């Protein structure tokens, strides 16, 4: 796990570390079940006090990003077998996993065959349901999916779905892969959710690293979570050489953006911001969007 921090940044070191770990989980760079460095090991790598790392780990456990293993080590929160099935890319691997789960649950292959037949005969979904607790991220997910597929689209939070399970009726659920374990029990067994992975930021980090002169970097997004994560990722690159400014869209004043040398925009702000040096940051990896379109089309053919 490669982390970089800046002690000169205005962003607290705890926040830099936490947001970078969360980002690596969200982009699948840190895999479910992967063991994290010990508190003292990570503190030694980053040359900071071990209490700082300890506070970060405790916070990420509290927020369910990490889990405690037997002993003192921490791991990325594991996903259950059903979650892994929804992410399986090989059809034979998916079928094998389903058979294994069924047998572990005490079901016969004949029961499995009958249940699969009933599910295949079920009516196909008529819309996509994007599930995320952050309104801004949910809006971004919906916008990027809307541009990629031509199906009706709705959105809700996990809390709303928990209160009203009927929101998932007739829907093909879509959720960020790191949030899937939180909502999988809320969804109909007849239609598992599609999980999407977030894009890496390597290209944008290199873009900033290649700036020759001290510059003003502007971040523009409809999501405060997006901006907070970006702050943690960019802090080690920005340091004291560049200036980082964050803007929630829609803007109250555009003067701050006009003064920027580089503007990083989410998918919604990009179409609205008028700046010669604006750069798009997509949230969802293209392969996930392709899979959503393929999955929805396959349901319609049933």
For 204-232, how does the pLDDT look when each residue is reduced to its tens digit (9 = 90+)? 999 999 999 999 999 999 999 999 999 99
Least confident of 41-55, 86-100, 116-130, 202-216: 86-100
CATH number for the domain harbouring residue 12: 1.10.10.10
* 248 three-class SS: strand
At 82 the pLDDT is: 46
Q: Does residue 49 sit in the same domain as residue 100?
A: no
Q: List for the chain the helix, strand, coil content (%; round to 5).
A: 50, 15, 35
CATH number for the domain harbouring residue 164: 3.40.50
pTM: 0.75
Round to the nearest angstrom and report the end-to-end CA distance of the chain: 43
Q: Does residue 161 sit in the same domain as residue 223?
A: no
Q: Does residue 292 sit in the same domain as residue 256?
A: no
Q: Does residue 37 sit in the same domain as residue 135?
A: no
Q: Does residue 289 sit in the same domain as residue 263?
A: no
Tell me which residue range forms the domain holding 243. 200-281
Q: Is the pLDDT of residue 33 over 60?
A: yes
Q: Does residue 192 sit in the same domain as residue 290?
A: yes
Q: Is the pLDDT of residue 50 over 70?
A: yes
Rounded CA separation 16/231 (Å): 7
Q: Is the pLDDT of residue 28 over 60?
A: yes
Q: Does residue 140 sit in the same domain as residue 178?
A: yes
Q: Does residue 4 sit in the same domain as residue 99?
A: no
Rounded CA separation 205/262 (Å): 12
Q: Does residue 189 sit in the same domain as residue 287?
A: yes
Q: Does residue 155 sit in the same domain as residue 57?
A: no
At 168 the pLDDT is: 85
At 108 the pLDDT is: 84
Number of compact structural domains in the chain: 4
Percent of the chain with pLDDT over 70: 88
Q: Does residue 187 sit in the same domain as residue 205?
A: no
């Amino acid at each position: 796990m490669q982390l970089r921090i800046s002690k000169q940044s205005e962003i607290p070191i705890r926040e830099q570390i936490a947001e970078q770990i969360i980002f690596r989980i969200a982009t699948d760079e840190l895999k479910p079940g992967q063991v994290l460095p010990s508190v003292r090991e990570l503190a030694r790598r980053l040359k900071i006090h071990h209490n700082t790392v300890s506070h970060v780990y405790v916070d990420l456990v509290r927020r369910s990003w990490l889990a405690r293993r037997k002993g003192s080590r921490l791991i990325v929160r594991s996903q259950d077998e059903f979650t892994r099935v929804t992410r399986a890319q090989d059809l034979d691997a998916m079928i094998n996993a389903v058979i294994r789960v069924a047998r572990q649950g005490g079901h016969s292959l004949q029961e499995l065959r009958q249940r699969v037949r009933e599910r295949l005969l079920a009516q196909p979904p008529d819309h996509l349901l994007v599930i995320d607790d952050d309104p801004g991220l949910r809006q971004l997910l919906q916008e990027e999916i809307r541009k990629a597929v031509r199906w009706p689209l709705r959105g809700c939070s996990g809390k709303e779905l928990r209160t009203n399970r009927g929101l998932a009726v007739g829907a093909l659920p879509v959720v960020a892969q790191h949030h899937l374990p939180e909502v999988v029990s809320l969804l109909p067994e007849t239609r598992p959710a599609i999980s999407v992975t977030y894009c890496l930021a390597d290209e944008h980090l290199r873009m900033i690293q290649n700036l020759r002169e001290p510059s003003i970097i502007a971040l523009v997004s409809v999501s405060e979570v997006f901006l907070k994560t970006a702050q943690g990722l960019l802090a080690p690159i920005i340091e004291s050489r560049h200036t980082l400014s964050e803007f929630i869209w829609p803007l109250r004043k555009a003067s701050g953006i006009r003064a920027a040398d580089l503007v990083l925009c989410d998918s919604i702000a990009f179409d609205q911001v008028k700046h010669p040096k604006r750069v798009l940051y997509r949230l969802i990896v293209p392969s996930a969007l392709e899979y959503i379109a393929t999955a929805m089309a396959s349901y319609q053919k049933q």
